[in-house]
Chains A and B, each alone.
Chain A
Amino acid sequence: MMETISLTINNEVHTVLIETRQTLLSVLRDKLFLCGTKNGCNHGVCGACNVLVDGKAMRACLLLAITLQEREITTIEGLSENGELSLLQKAFASHQAFQCGFCTSGMLISATALLDHDSTPSISKIRHELGGNICRCTGYVQIIDAVKSVCEGKTDCT
């Protein structure tokens, strides 16, 4: 069954014809071509599809798009403004907190949500809060360093 819905994504309202069973991930990628949000595992384990829903990091692959009409959605594309990266994004670049980059969007979304709620998290809190985002390349150390550097106001490590 098809239905037309309105979604507020990155402060922009998108009106889109979807199937009622369609996930937010599928709408983002297949309908709106916001492809920064990735599909890694198909069922809510890896975190590559994380987006912010009213400021909370959530799995886009487990959300039905049709239920989100009144919500504010932020994707990776919404973390930078007019091409200017956020402090966290800059820190990920300077700390090489990614390798292949496939988990990076979801990792940045989770880290953004964390810092929005706690600007000075301990290392154990960072590990706990980002524990649901799987990265297969980095071993996580440089991701933790990048997040920490933003808390300490030192994003440029070069």
Chain B
Amino acid sequence: MHVKQDGSKYGVGISMPRRESYEKVSGSAVYTDDMVLPGMLYGAVLGSDYAHARIKSYDTKAAKALKGVKAVITAADFDMQRCGMLIKDEHPLARDKVRYIGEPVAAVAAIDMATANLAMQLIEIEYEELDAVFDAEEAMLENAPILHEERDSYDGIVASPGLHNVASYTRCQEGELDVWETCDVIVEGVYETPAQEHMYIEPCSTIADIDPMGKVTVWSSQQSVFIPRQLTAEALGIPMTKLRFITPQVGGAFGGKCGVTNQPVTVALALAANAPVKLTYTRSDDMIMNKSRHPSRIYMRTGADSSGKLIAREAKIYFNTGAYADEGPLIGSVATFFSRGPYKIKNMNVETWCVYTNRTKAGAFRGFGVPQATFAGESQIDELAEKLNMDPFDLRMKNMVATDDKWLGGQNIDHGTLPGCLKAVYEASNLRERPKQQKLDNNKWRGIGVSTSAHVSAVLSASAVVKLNEDGTITINTGAVDIGEGADTILSQMAAETLGLHPDDITYTCTDSDTSPYNYQTAGSRTTYVVGTSVTQASVQVRNQIYKHASEMLESAESDLEILPGSFVGVKGSPDARIPFSAVAGRALNQVGGPIVGMHSWLYHNTPFDKETAMIEGFALDGGGVFCFAAQVAVVDVDKDTGKVEVVEFWSAHDVGCAINPKSVEGQIFGGVVQGLGYALFEELVWIDGQISNPSMMDYKVPGMNDVPYDIHAIILETQEKTGPFGARGVGEIPLNGVAPAICNAIASATGARVRTIPATSERVLQEILKLE
């Protein structure tokens, strides 16, 4: 934190307003669909009518002949190749086979939307229908239809496990298998979680423009400019020199705009029409054609001794990845990795299958496999507590991991911040004094539930360029797409802190694959930690160069210099001996040394698994690190006549190391909790015979202001992360992870009814209540 001459504060630790505030509150922020190019055409995508069918033939003549239609494409026209982040199993437009209802199979570009929609109705596709399978475990049976006959030959970084319809298989085993006889108490259950829709308010949108040299510029609502460029290049066989990806403002993403969405099809349409094309999904198309969270079925068993010490857990986790793997193999690995929860359990045996079925694919979504595993695990902790006649909070305190304990797989926990989080929610919610079960008016009952969760906040690589401009201001350039979470602001704050500048004197560039240095994606709670490290280190380089110049200009040792407010560097204790950054920049540009530029590039190295203690099979990640922790408490009211649940108050404690912008951290916590509340109580894509029956915001309920409590308490703890920029670690995903089990534990405390399938709709809650009577 710095203090300006007028007394205002800036830099790290200040809740400065978002840098794009003016644009966003005035309605002038530009999102992809707001852009219009001269001569721009409008795209539309035709989805498959069948859940599983062979494509026999296409007839696009009538569509092509329609006035105003400029291009009609199919995979056959374009020789599209399979692409994918982990397994190259998916064509941008279906080729040879369709594998789910709504799978993109042809696309049109026309002078307006009405013409494009009309043309789609004129496309004839002849299919040969095949048997379909929709359930993950059924798909693994020998007689189930096979979705990907060639799975074993697909390229990618995840090898085929050689099992029927299984995209990937992961196993982690530690300790002994045969220890169940030594357990005094065992709980066992099946837990099911839904396909949650991301429901970012801005549907996927892409514009592709082609220049006379054949280079295509792509503006899209996406989480990276690099991954979609790579996948588009692979799918269309275009070199990256012919593709430039730019990200305007993004209207939310949550993982749903990771990888590629409709960029390859839009590029193909622009190439076919030789004109700019905009393709914006309708809400229904977005829900049917883009991914959801992996629905899961988890068979879990946990055992403890009579003192409450956890002894063993085993789990079989089935992830339904739909027609394509997307990031499923990695998500399955992460679920396995987090299946022990933040507890010391010596004997673990967990297997995860990521299975192809004839449904819309599943992929990355805030939490990335952890919410599913946490729902099962945290439910079982409460179920064990009940059997042990122990307080669930005490059972957690007894078994939780702390600093220098090991994670599943053997990684050291350098900052075991869970105890602090648990104590914080315990005190803030006055847990000691609160009755576990309280009868209210009519047949309403109040209960309270606790959960813990964990996440990682560092994966893969990033880089940053920080430049001193001629006038002494700074430009920072990273590949970090701000999808709404605030990267542009907090990265500016880190540079401001390092260089003693006010953020107003720092500008940041729009992400552009031609000019921005590489960054993986805005995903994995990694931007603050991984990109923040690059911005900070590049800023340090700029600062060091400023000191070097200033030392020569002021004839003073570098160690005697300091950065002063207002973009000055001066001699400590000599108020008059100072020069502006602009003078340093001018000297560097015109007299000595050359332009002042800082550049930092790095790859976060996971701490590898300990192969001595853990048997690891099929993991798509090579380890973990920078663990972060959270504890949550929910108070709910349950109407025992109707099963309706209302969350009345919620506490969520997070150790973020250092809150670069505390109000933004709170925003992540509030937003994650409410998205988790939707996951717990309302949200579920429903398929009937392979068809999503609720592909609209009318039929798929996300929480509104009336559905969630105002009393959500975000508790921020700051145990410095030794390796993080300013001691920070990520917070993007973890607030969602433990919400569903906290709520279901509270429902059980209020009513005695244990709901093991979410969302815990009134119907499901009532069914469990009736079973008790």
Using a CB–CB distance below 8 Å, which chain A residues touch chain B? 29, 33, 35-43, 45-46, 48, 75-77, 79-80, 83, 85, 89-90, 92-96, 98-105, 108, 123, 126-128, 130-144, 157-158
Known contacts A134-B702, A136-B675, A142-B666, A76 near B252 by CB under 8 Å: no
B residues within 8 A CB of A131?
Answer: 704-706
Q: 14 extra interchain contacts, Cβ-Cβ under 8 A, other than A90-B25, A104-B25, A136-B199?
A: A38-B201, A39-B33, A41-B698, A46-B697, A93-B25, A100-B251, A101-B29, A102-B31, A104-B27, A128-B706, A137-B667, A139-B670, A139-B674, A142-B663
The 6 lowest CB-CB distance pairs between A and B, nearest first, are A36-B27, A100-B484, A102-B251, A139-B670, A76-B27, A101-B24
Are B706 and A96 in contact, CB atoms less than 8 angstroms apart?
A: no
Give the residue of A90, A94, A99 whose beta carbon is less than 8 angstroms from that of B252.
A99
Known contacts A45-B697, A46-B201, A96 near B26 by CB under 8 Å: no
Shortest C-beta distance, A111 to chain B (Å), equals 11
B211 within 8 A of A: no
Are A96 and B18 in contact, CB atoms less than 8 angstroms apart?
A: yes
Task: Tell me the B714-758 residues at the A interface (CB within 8 Å).
Answer: none
Are B22 and A85 in contact, CB atoms less than 8 angstroms apart?
A: yes
Q: B199-220: contact bitstring with A at CB < 8 Å (1 yes, 0 no)?
A: 1111100000000000000000
Are B201 and A48 in contact, CB atoms less than 8 angstroms apart?
A: yes
B149 within 8 A of A: no
- Please, which residue of chain A has its CB at the minimum distance from the CB of B676? A139
- Please, which residue of chain A has its CB at the minimum distance from the CB of B198? A136
Shortest C-beta distance, A109 to chain B (Å), equals 9
Are A38 and B18 in contact, CB atoms less than 8 angstroms apart?
A: no
- Please, which residue of chain A has its CB at the minimum distance from the CB of B661? A96
Shortest C-beta distance, B21 to chain A (Å), equals 4
- Please, which residue of chain B has its CB at the minimum distance from the CB of A48? B201
- Please, which residue of chain B has its CB at the minimum distance from the CB of A145? B710
B36 within 8 A of A: yes
Known contacts A96-B663, A139-B671, A142-B670, A127 near B710 by CB under 8 Å: yes
B302 within 8 A of A: no
B389 within 8 A of A: no
B residues within 8 A CB of A158?
Answer: 14-17
Are B705 and A136 in contact, CB atoms less than 8 angstroms apart?
A: no
The complex places the Cα of A57 from the Cα of B729 at a distance, in Å, of 41
Are A89 and B26 in contact, CB atoms less than 8 angstroms apart?
A: yes
A-B contact pairs, 8 of them (CB 8 A): A36-B26, A76-B27, A77-B26, A99-B671, A102-B202, A136-B199, A137-B484, A138-B667
The complex places the Cα of A43 from the Cα of B607 at a distance, in Å, of 49
Give the residue of B28, B36, B485, B712 whose beta carbon is less than 8 angstroms from that of A139.
B712
Known contacts A40-B697, A136-B201, A136-B702, A98 near B25 by CB under 8 Å: yes
Are B696 and A45 in contact, CB atoms less than 8 angstroms apart?
A: yes
The complex places the Cα of A157 from the Cα of B16 at a distance, in Å, of 10
B residues within 8 A CB of A108?
Answer: 25
Are A130 and B698 in contact, CB atoms less than 8 angstroms apart?
A: no
Shortest C-beta distance, A97 to chain B (Å), equals 8
B residues within 8 A CB of A39?
Answer: 33, 203
B residues within 8 A CB of A37?
Answer: 27
B250 within 8 A of A: yes
Known contacts A75-B27, A101-B29, A140 near B674 by CB under 8 Å: yes
A residues within 8 A CB of B14?
Answer: 158
The complex places the Cα of A93 from the Cα of B284 at a distance, in Å, of 32
Known contacts A136-B702, A141-B670, A158-B17, A36 near B202 by CB under 8 Å: no
B648 within 8 A of A: no
Number of interface residues of B (CB under 8 A): 60
The complex places the Cα of A85 from the Cα of B21 at a distance, in Å, of 11
B residues within 8 A CB of A93?
Answer: 17-18, 21-22, 25
B residues within 8 A CB of A102?
Answer: 31, 200-202, 251-252, 484
- Please, which residue of chain B has its CB at the minimum distance from the CB of A110? B705
Are B17 and A96 in contact, CB atoms less than 8 angstroms apart?
A: yes
Q: B3-30: contact bitstring with A at CB < 8 Å (1 yes, 0 no)?
A: 0000000000011111011111111111
B265 within 8 A of A: no
- Please, which residue of chain A has its CB at the minimum distance from the CB of B27? A36
Are A42 and B201 in contact, CB atoms less than 8 angstroms apart?
A: no
Shortest C-beta distance, A126 to chain B (Å), equals 8
Shortest C-beta distance, B769 to chain A (Å), equals 28
- Please, which residue of chain B has its CB at the minimum distance from the CB of A21? B114
- Please, which residue of chain B has its CB at the minimum distance from the CB of A101? B24
Q: B611-626: contact bitstring with A at CB < 8 Å (1 yes, 0 no)?
A: 0000000000000000
B245 within 8 A of A: no
Give the residue of B22, B198, B484, B702 whose beta carbon is less than 8 angstroms from that of A99.
B484
The complex places the Cα of A105 from the Cα of B17 at a distance, in Å, of 17
Shortest C-beta distance, A132 to chain B (Å), equals 7
The complex places the Cα of A35 from the Cα of B30 at a distance, in Å, of 8
Shortest C-beta distance, A43 to chain B (Å), equals 7
B residues within 8 A CB of A133?
Answer: 704-705
B228 within 8 A of A: no
Are B696 and A137 in contact, CB atoms less than 8 angstroms apart?
A: no
B residues within 8 A CB of A76?
Answer: 26-27
- Please, which residue of chain B has its CB at the minimum distance from the CB of A35? B34
B87 within 8 A of A: no
Shortest C-beta distance, B679 to chain A (Å), equals 12
Shortest C-beta distance, A131 to chain B (Å), equals 4
The complex places the Cα of A40 from the Cα of B23 at a distance, in Å, of 18
B673 within 8 A of A: yes
Q: B225-264: contact bitstring with A at CB < 8 Å (1 yes, 0 no)?
A: 0000000000000000000000001111110000000000
Shortest C-beta distance, B255 to chain A (Å), equals 12
The complex places the Cα of A42 from the Cα of B117 at a distance, in Å, of 15
The complex places the Cα of A39 from the Cα of B697 at a distance, in Å, of 12
B708 within 8 A of A: yes
The complex places the Cα of A126 from the Cα of B21 at a distance, in Å, of 22
- Please, which residue of chain B has its CB at the minimum distance from the CB of A95? B663
Are A139 and B708 in contact, CB atoms less than 8 angstroms apart?
A: yes
The complex places the Cα of A128 from the Cα of B249 at a distance, in Å, of 29
Are A101 and B15 in contact, CB atoms less than 8 angstroms apart?
A: no
B283 within 8 A of A: yes
B483 within 8 A of A: yes
B residues within 8 A CB of A92?
Answer: 21, 25
Interface-central residue, B16, B18, B708, B712, by most chain A CB under 10 Å: B18
Interface-central residue, B16, B674, B710, by most chain A CB under 10 Å: B710
B residues within 8 A CB of A83?
Answer: 26
B664 within 8 A of A: yes
B486 within 8 A of A: yes
Shortest C-beta distance, A105 to chain B (Å), equals 5
Q: B683-696: contact bitstring with A at CB < 8 Å (1 yes, 0 no)?
A: 00000000000001
The complex places the Cα of A135 from the Cα of B27 at a distance, in Å, of 16
Are B22 and A100 in contact, CB atoms less than 8 angstroms apart?
A: no
Task: Tell me the B472-495 residues at the A interface (CB within 8 Å).
Answer: 483-486
B282 within 8 A of A: yes
Q: B158-191: contact bitstring with A at CB < 8 Å (1 yes, 0 no)?
A: 0000000000000000000000000000000000
Give the residue of B15, B29, B200, B664 whose beta carbon is less than 8 angstroms from that of A136.
B200
The complex places the Cα of A41 from the Cα of B203 at a distance, in Å, of 8
Are B704 and A132 in contact, CB atoms less than 8 angstroms apart?
A: yes
Give the residue of A94, A101, A143, A144 whose beta carbon is less than 8 angstroms from that of B251.
A101
B residues within 8 A CB of A75?
Answer: 27
B residues within 8 A CB of A100?
Answer: 200-202, 249-253, 483-484
The complex places the Cα of A157 from the Cα of B27 at a distance, in Å, of 22
Give the residue of B201, B483, B669 whose beta carbon is less than 8 angstroms from that of A135.
B201
B residues within 8 A CB of A142?
Answer: 663, 666-667, 670
Known contacts A134-B704, A140-B705, A142-B670, A42 near B34 by CB under 8 Å: no
Known contacts A37-B27, A40-B202, A139-B712, A134 near B697 by CB under 8 Å: yes
The complex places the Cα of A103 from the Cα of B36 at a distance, in Å, of 21
